[in-house]
Amino acid sequence: MKRRIGLLVIGYWVLVHLTAFSQGLTGLKICIDPGHGGSGSNDRPLDIDGNGTIDFYESESNWQKANFLKRLLEARGAVVLLTRNTNSYPNDSDEPSLSARVDVANQNNVDWFHSIHSNATGGTNTGTNNTLVLVREKRSETDPGVPYPNDPRPYPNGLGVPERAESWTMAQILGPRIKAYLRTNQVQGPFLDWTFYGGATDGPDADTWADGFSLGVLRGLLMPGELSEGSFHDFNPETRRLMNQAYREMEAYALCQSFQIFTGAPSDAVGLIAGIVTDNETKKPMNGARVRLLTTGQLYIGDNWQNGFFMFDSVAPGAHWVRFENPGYGLDSAQVTVAAATPAFLDRTIYSNVAAYVVLTSPKSTDTSYPVTSVLGATFSRAMDTASVRLAFGLSPSAPGNFYWTNGNTTLIYDPVGSLAGGTIYTWTIDTTARSAGGMKLDANNGGSPNPLVISFRTAGTTSVADEPPVAPVTFGLRQNFPNPFNPSTSIVIDIPRRTTGTLVVYDAAGREVARLLEGELHPGQRTVRFDAGQLPSGIYLCELRTTEFRSAIKVMLIK
């Protein structure tokens, strides 16, 4: 297709243009400019980890976007030229100037020009992440003091050349498409460049270049053109996404689709699936996210730039199952519906399949004078399913109280109403029905198998323990030992509601008695018995409490 020459009626030209390309992009000649110079030139590098090493170069990101866009457009029939052929020129002087980039488009008689960039605030960016599209505001190249004409509207009442109106129409397509694929906060513009950068549209400065300026890479073009700032590369989460090649390809898809929409070319018959995988405990995007598209079996393995991003392209329209397969995390599947030429997003939070253990408790089992006004607290190694912990919680003697969670549901606080009884032995338990947020049973002592938390402690009192009557349990009980597994010793708590006689005996797997911990008269109360297995081999043992009225046994595990 030849370059337009002279003044044309805009409406007629657009109609001819759309008709010419209604069957595809075949014959369309496009010049793509990867914005900024290579990494050794006028680049905008970032040290995203703060360790003194430059990790991100805007030019490299733009270069990769441009090359993928080139492949997409060529696959749809277009002829594509790039304004530079590398991102690593041996000498800075080899970098093409802005005017040289314009010359690539003009001398090759292309139909369209587009410059790819990403934006920055110039300061500390904690949340700005927008899409911006700028169009050349046509002014006299021979006399920069005379506007040509001084009219910022996209359609200059038939007085200007049609390129600006075409660029404006294309820009109105580009902004929303980029936002849809990158999920930026908003679209800024489109704007005409000179006015956007502060140029006066009326008043005493209307006929000068005062305050504003035109983008050099758009000035002098003999065809329609625009510049896009896809997102803000100095917003740290976005910087990390822009390190991901698949995420860069998302912007290329948006740009390619914009050309298809503008020209009336057939849209793609396939769509894509993308999303971000987040770790439930850290609340941060996952490194090395492993995501499988079950329809095709394709496995996506993410990078280590803490972006959690994944993407599958060329996905047939319809419902698809996606499975998240990170080692150390529970398998998780979700369904997503794909439409043609549209991104379908599936963000997912995944949970560790490693059981939680107890890192710290207050009180401890060794406490013999715990303040009666203090709360009970437990810190777990990972986030917990709070409802299951509440149901698994026990305190004997009972004391009503309120549950509170902090630190991302890893720390439990139980605040008794009023005060605990003074000079009293309490047993605090959280049994193995308590589960982590990932659904794993509690392994309180990190022994490798489910086991409960059992804490027996005595509160401080104003009178001596000998002067206070013991608080008798309501029923007989043999509680699970703590810790379990153990090495070499463990504690076993028994509940005796009334005076009786009995034994507490330990047997090995063959049924042989290996230790007799108690024998004879048992007085009412709760009692903690220490089992020292230093002379026994590793294995599972059976501990049995037997009285004239009650018989119960627990399994205990010795690991050396």
The CATH number of the domain holding residue 289 is 2.60.40.1120
Edge-to-edge strand ranges of the sheet holding 131-135: 79-82, 29-34, 112-119, 225-232, 131-135, 187-192
In a domain, 548, yes or no: yes
Lowest mean per-residue pLDDT among 29-43, 261-275, 344-358, 415-429: 29-43
Edge-to-edge strand ranges of the sheet holding 290-293: 298-301, 290-293, 318-324, 332-338
> Residue 36 pLDDT more than 70?
yes
Residues 145 and 237 in one domain: yes
The CATH number of the domain where 190 resides is what?
A: 3.40.630.40
Cα angle at 210 between 209 and 212, to 5 degrees? 75
Residues 204 and 110 in one domain: yes
Residues 541 and 437 in one domain: no
Residues 250 and 275 in one domain: no
In a domain, 133, yes or no: yes
User: ω before 400 within 30° of 0 (cis)?
Assistant: no
Q: Write the DSSP string, 104-166.
A: HHHHTT-SEEEEEEEE--SS--SS---EEEEE---B-SS-TTSBSS---SSS-TTSS-HHHHH
- Structure tokens of 202? 């009326």
Q: Sorting pLDDT into bands at 50, 70 and 90, what band is 195?
A: confident
Cα 333 to Cα 14, 36, 336, 346, 470: the distances in Å are 47, 41, 10, 11, 55
Cα 361 to Cα 253, 269, 414, 458, 479: the distances in Å are 53, 58, 11, 14, 19
Name residues whose C-beta falls within 8 Å of residue 321's C-beta, 6 or more positions apart in sequence: 294, 295, 333, 334, 335
Cα angle at 559 between 554 and 560, to 5 degrees? 145
The pLDDT assigned to 38 comes to: 61
CA distance 531 to 552: 17
In a domain, 5, yes or no: no
Say whether pTM exceeds 0.95: no
In a domain, 509, yes or no: yes
The pLDDT assigned to 210 comes to: 52
CA distance 423 to 465: 6
Domain boundary among 240, 263, 286: 263
pLDDT 10s digits, 234-269: 999 999 999 999 999 999 999 999 999 999 999 999
> Angle, nearest 10°, between helix axes 162-182 and 10-20?
50
Cα 102 to Cα 115, 132, 219: the distances in Å are 10, 21, 8
CA distance 461 to 514: 38
> Residue 151 pLDDT more than 50?
no
- Structure tokens of 46? 């970032």
Name residues whose C-beta falls within 8 Å of residue 400's C-beta, 6 or more positions apart in sequence: 416, 417
Residues 284 and 336 in one domain: yes
Q: Write the DSSP string, 245-289.
A: HHHHHHHHHHHHHHHHHHHTPPPPS-EEEEEEEEETTT-SBPTT-
Residues 258 and 132 in one domain: yes
Domain boundary among 263, 285, 311: 263
Residues 190 and 155 in one domain: yes
- For the chain, the average pLDDT equals 84
- Here the contacts of 367-374 (C-beta below 8 Å, separation 24 or greater) are 367/457, 367/458, 368/457, 368/458, 369/458, 369/459, 369/460, 370/420, 370/457, 370/458, 370/459, 370/460, 371/459, 371/460, 372/419, 372/420, 372/421, 372/422, 372/459, 372/460, 372/461, 373/419, 373/420, 374/420
CA distance 290 to 326: 5
CA distance 395 to 387: 17
Residues 301 and 336 in one domain: yes
> Residue 145 pLDDT more than 50?
no
What do you get for the CA distance between the two ends of the chain, in Å?
82
> Angle, nearest 10°, between helix axes 162-182 and 245-263?
140
- What percentage of the chain reaches a pLDDT higher than 70? 86
* Of 33, 156, 158, nearest in space to 98 by CA: 33
Residues 324 and 461 in one domain: no
CA distance 28 to 1: 7
- Structure tokens of 150? 């001084």
Residues 322 and 445 in one domain: no
Domain boundary among 263, 283, 316: 263
Highest mean pLDDT among 213-227, 331-345, 413-427, 452-466: 331-345
> Residue 382 pLDDT more than 60?
yes
Q: Sorting pLDDT into bands at 50, 70 and 90, what band is 164?
A: low
In a domain, 1, yes or no: no
Q: Sorting pLDDT into bands at 50, 70 and 90, what band is 158?
A: very low
In a domain, 4, yes or no: no
* Of 348, 442, 351, 341, nearest in space to 388 by CA: 442
Strands 425-430 and 453-458, by their bridges, are antiparallel
Residues 94 and 230 in one domain: yes
Edge-to-edge strand ranges of the sheet holding 489-496: 477-478, 489-496, 525-532
pLDDT 10s digits, 53-69: 888 989 999 999 999 99
Q: Residue 95 in contact with residue 86, Cβ under 8 Å?
A: no
> Residue 13 pLDDT more than 70?
no
In this prediction, residues 133-148 reach a mean pLDDT of 56
CA distance 252 to 68: 6
Cα angle at 405 between 402 and 406, to 5 degrees? 140
Question: Whole domain around residue 280: which residue ranges?
Answer: 271-350
Going by the DSSP 8-state scheme, the letter that residue 47 receives in this structure is: -
Strands (E) located in 346-475 = 348-350, 358-362, 376-380, 393-396, 401-406, 411-416, 425-430, 453-458
The CATH number of the domain where 547 resides is what?
A: 2.60.40.1930
Name residues whose C-beta falls within 8 Å of residue 8's C-beta, 6 or more positions apart in sequence: 162
The pLDDT assigned to 136 comes to: 82
Domains of the chain: total: 4
Residues 249 and 111 in one domain: yes
In a domain, 3, yes or no: no
In a domain, 2, yes or no: no
The pLDDT assigned to 69 comes to: 98
> Residue 411 pLDDT more than 80?
yes
